[in-house]
């Protein structure tokens, strides 16, 4: 009985998952910049051309580029070495 009660919130979250939009950061990382702009504008309740949306998208792109530059050439084998753990 207790397990069944615990499944209710999980089930509601699972149903809600289908109504979520993709993250603007994830969309930008996948190269889907127009969709990222639409998603961010929706989250911020502003137009796509809004200076705030444009500025935040530029920050997201810059952070993704920086992340890619820092992890360039890094392999899982290097991450799992004793000194890195």
Is residue 68 over pLDDT 70? Answer: yes
- The 10 Å Cβ neighbour count of residue 13 is 9
Residues sharing a CB contact under 8 Å with residue 52, sequence separation 6 or more, in sequence order: 44, 46
Rounded Cα gap, residues 32 and 26, in angstroms: 9
Rounded Cα gap, residues 62 and 32, in angstroms: 15
Is residue 55 over pLDDT 70? Answer: yes
Is residue 1 over pLDDT 80? Answer: no
The per-residue pLDDT for 85 is 61
Is residue 66 over pLDDT 80? Answer: yes
């Amino acid at each position: 009985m207790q397990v069944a009660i615990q499944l209710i919130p999980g089930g509601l979250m699972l149903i809600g998952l289908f109504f979520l939009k993709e993250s603007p950061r994830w969309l930008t990382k996948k190269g889907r910049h127009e969709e990222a702009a639409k998603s961010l504008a929706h989250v911020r309740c502003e137009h796509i051309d809004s200076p705030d949306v444009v500025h935040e998208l530029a920050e997201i792109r810059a952070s993704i580029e920086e992340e890619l530059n820092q992890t360039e050439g890094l392999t899982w084998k290097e991450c799992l070495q004793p000194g890195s753990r």
